[in-house]
Amino acid sequence: MKDGAEHSILLDMAALYVWLSLLCIGGTIPLLPDMHRFFVDSRGLMTTSEFAGYFALAQAAPGPNILYVALFGYHVAGLAGALTTLGAISLGPFVLIVITTRIFTKLQANPWRAIVLRGLAPVTVGLMFAGCVMLTKGFVDVRAWLLAAVALGCFLIFRKVHPLWFIAAGAVIGGAGWL
């Protein structure tokens, strides 16, 4: 990539992630459809398979799950892209946390505080579901869907079992070659 084009894409990624960071409710996973639209659909900077692969790699790696943002940036513009995307996605929440912490501290006894916090929970779940739907587009392996349905059913039946056991079971089944 030429210097001018790289500089332009770095600015575009920074603008995207600063804007998206202001929409972060419950993490960055609900923002996946917008990231996909930018990197795959509108810019053609990577394929859907690469996009999903970077996301899966970052989720499997130890550490913060936001690392996939850096992988997207690294794919496009190397280390400068990774640093740009991580810095840009962190800026908005940092500023918002400082501001809201001061406001919520002053409103400790106000009943609206609890109402707002309860109202954000379904919004977060809905946005996370939209991200999951986007990641599974075109994924038609019936065995994987069957495994996911069985895992969900078991999770709903055995609520006292820690969810990591279900993740471990899925990893063992996948590693055994069933998928």
Say whether pLDDT at 179 is over 60: no
Is residue 2 pLDDT above 80, yes or no? no
What residue type is 10 in one-letter code? L
Question: Is pLDDT of 34 > 80?
Answer: yes
Quick check: 144 pLDDT over 90?
Answer: no
pLDDT at 108: 81
Residue 86 pLDDT:
92
b/e map 55-80, b = 16+ CB within 10 Å: beebeeeeeeebbbbbbbbbbbbeeb
d(CA 24, CA 2): 32
Find out whether 6 and 77 touch, Cβ atoms under 8 Å: yes
Angle between helical axes of 3-21 and 67-106 (0-180°, round to 10):
40
Please indicate whether residue 9 or residue 109 has the higher confidence score (pLDDT).
9
The pLDDT confidence band at residue 58, using thresholds 50, 70 and 90, is confident
Alpha carbon distance 6, 81 (integer Å): 9
Q: What percent of the chain has pLDDT over 70?
A: 93
Helix H or strand E segment including 156: helix 142-157
What is this structure's pTM?
Answer: 0.61
116 Cβ partners below 8 Å, 6+ apart?
none
pLDDT in tens, 69-102: 999 999 999 999 999 999 999 888 888 889 988 8
pLDDT over 70 (residue 105): yes
Three-state secondary-structure class, residue 114: helix
> Which range has the worst mean pLDDT, 28-32, 81-85, 98-102, 162-166?
162-166
| CB atoms closer than 10 angstroms to residue 33 | 16
Of the candidate ranges 46-55, 144-153, 170-179, the one whose mean pLDDT is the lowest: 170-179
Average pLDDT, the chain: 83
Using alpha carbons only, give the angle 84, 15, 2 rounded to the nearest 5 degrees: 60
